[in-house]
Structure 1
Amino acid sequence: MVSFDSLCYSLLLLSGLVEVLANPLQSRKHEPRPLVIWHGMGDSYGSPGMLEFINEIKEMHPGIFVHSIYLDEDLKEDQRAGFLGNVNLQLGNVTEQLRDIPELSQGFDAIGFSQGGQFLRAYVERYNSPPINNLITFGSQHMGVSDFPLCRRWDLVCQFARRAARGNVYTEWAQENLVQAQYYRDPTQLPQYLSSNHFLTDINNELDESVNQTYAENLISLNKLILVLFSEDKTVVPKETSWFGSYAPPEDDDDYEKTIIPMRLQTLYTEDRIGLKTLDERGDVVLETCEGEHMQLSTGCWRPLVNTYVGGPIKSQMMLVQDQVVLNGF
């Protein structure tokens, strides 16, 4: 005999099924999970290289929906915003952008190129609505950089930002307006970095007095975090930042020998300040290496990762309700 509680639960499931049937977006059958990409410094959301990459992914995963994040719909302004702007404000705008895309409402996988990778991680920790399933970051500066990336000879915007930042990196103006300054972490000036920076110190929960537990809860919600390091990277210093490594602060100012603090010895890891330790011990932090310089993406490196961690089947809400009906024997 069916209990009253079971009957009520089954009726609720059926009412959910009716609601889903009335919504064409929710009644989608199994299809590839959507993908969101955030480009790196000096690139734009619709550059030829980005469009080629997107097309190759669509060939790998037929039917996949791909969105390339933009900070400005004008390609030149979008490229410029990768150098000049307030990262915290940009993140808020990107979050609104993603929330307004119906295809992403049930979640998505994400790929971040260079600085786009730590920006997507910041999105996970601060917002994650809609949620990211798998996050792949290529050559991203998760523990910041201790030198500024070199610029192409013709890239005047990059050259201006680099010159302006080098001598004034921890000034209020630089921390509000120069993107690369907002993840510049000088091991010889850590006190100044901790007191001046409002982006990287926050998403890495480095400030003892303001650790945000929500960041850890949100990062743990990822299915997989795939961290890709470039073996010959000389653009990102140190290259180990892609795996949450950083230079140790000097013990003696007169004889500073640079040594790397690896991910599992970082305070943010040992104290599990952002959920990285929990994710890693769960087996869901994947450390990968691409041979070559920064962002030299060979197909032999990126294709297996995209094939494995992008485009998995996503169950529609209708399918989830049907599964619950079956499991509860109605």
Structure 2
Amino acid sequence: LIHGLNANNHDNFDNLTAMIKQRHPGTITFATPLYSNLSSIIRLTKQVEDIGVEFMNFCKSHPQGVNLIGHSQGALIARAILQYFPDHNVHNFISIAGPQAGQYGTELLKKHLNWDLPKEIVYRIAYNEVGQHICSVANFWKDPRRNIQDLYYKEVKFLPEINNEVNHSKVDDFKKGIVKLNRLVLLGSQNDTVIDPWQSAHFEFYDENENVVPLKNQRIYKDDLFGLRTLDERGALITHSVSGVEHVVWVFDPALVDQYIIPYLD
């Protein structure tokens, strides 16, 4: 289990771990203690590499296979670990309220970083070498305006790469790590006030006019850049939209855990 921004393995997952053990007896759980609280703002490539090494050791200790759960920023880190370490033995990956397609809303910045900025100027801080090096949110901040897109693809060093939207040396590995999953489960809610748009949890995102583009109309799906279409065509891409669920509630509400997490641990 991988926690989100400004969170830790205990606050985020003690309750969830207890529910999993009660409802799915015999399950061995591990929630990473790495990059907790304020250290979770460190650039995502570093977090992925370090948590990934820890995770692969866990995989080797459980050769029968494991399941992976990530919440919020931790869901994005978890997805990237699958891609950075394509020899994993993950069966099911459950992405809970994760900004998988990016973030273009400042509530996350206000809530976790105490930054009260208009979203239209965040790129000035995020889209440069310093911003990319020191701030995790900058690594998945996606300004959809047409005149900013070239800068996004030039400067952002994480999200365009794991989406295989730019050329790099690990394109094949990044796709291999996703298509080998048995199931990719995406959980999101229109009442999520942190992830913006909330549909980013389902790999959907704004066009230049801030209209949300359905997944199947996006290049990452149509060109199957990292395997989403492959998963979908074999029935392995599962999306749940649940009304009334705030960002952090997913990992605390027993009814949600029973319906949307426990069934995918088999």
| Shared fold (TM-score, shorter chain, > 0.5) | yes
Change (3 A) 1:262 1:116: same
Change (3 A) 1:211 1:279: same
Alignment of 1:71-82 (within 5 A): 71-72=34-35, 78-82=36-40
Aligned-residue identity in percent? 23
Query: Hey, what does 1:229 align to over in structure 2?
Result: 188
Residue 185 of structure 1 aligns to a residue in which SS?
Answer: coil
Mapped pair 1:53 → 2:16 = yes
2-structure distance, mates of 1:42, 1:162: 19
Residue 43 of structure 1 aligns to a residue in which SS?
Answer: coil
Residue 132 of structure 2 aligns to a residue in which SS?
Answer: helix
Query: Hey, what does 1:181 align to over in structure 2?
Result: 138
Query: Hey, what does 1:121 align to over in structure 2?
Result: 79
Change (3 A) 1:108 1:128: farther
Alignment of 1:147-226 (within 5 A): 147-148=105-106, 149-152=108-111, 158-159=113-114, 166=122, 167-188=124-145, 189-207=148-166, 212-226=171-185
- Asked whether the equivalents of residues 38 and 112 of structure 1 are also in contact (C-alpha less than 8 Å), the reply is yes
Mapped pair 1:266 → 2:218 = yes
| Cα root mean square deviation, aligned | 2.2
Deviates more, 1:103-112 or 1:264-273: 103-112
Segments of structure 2 that go 5 or more residues without pairing to the other structure are none
Mapped pair 1:132 → 2:90 = yes
Distance apart, 1:160 and its partner CA? 5.7
TM normalised by structure 2 equals 0.89
Distance apart, 1:162 and its partner CA? 7.4
Distance apart, 1:117 and its partner CA? 0.9
- Asked whether the equivalents of residues 233 and 294 of structure 1 are also in contact (C-alpha less than 8 Å), the reply is yes
Paired residue type of 1:232: N
What are the superposed Cα offsets for residues 152-171 of structure 1, whole Å, 9 maximum, x if unpaired?
4xx6xx226979x9341112
User: Which structure has the bigger radius of gyration?
Assistant: 1
Distance apart, 1:208 and its partner CA? 5.2
Paired residue type of 1:296: V
Distance apart, 1:129 and its partner CA? 3.8
Deviates more, 1:118-127 or 1:272-281: 118-127
2-structure distance, mates of 1:299, 1:58: 13
What are the superposed Cα offsets for residues 50-85 of structure 1, whole Å, 9 maximum, x if unpaired?
21211111011112110102225xxxxx211222x1
Residue 205 of structure 1 aligns to a residue in which SS?
Answer: coil
Change (3 A) 1:104 1:173: farther
Residue 280 of structure 1 aligns to a residue in which SS?
Answer: helix
Distance apart, 1:231 and its partner CA? 2.1
Segments of structure 1 that go 5 or more residues without pairing to the other structure are 1-36, 73-77, 250-256, 313-330
What are the superposed Cα offsets for residues 164-206 of structure 1, whole Å, 9 maximum, x if unpaired?
x934111211111101111000001111110001110100011
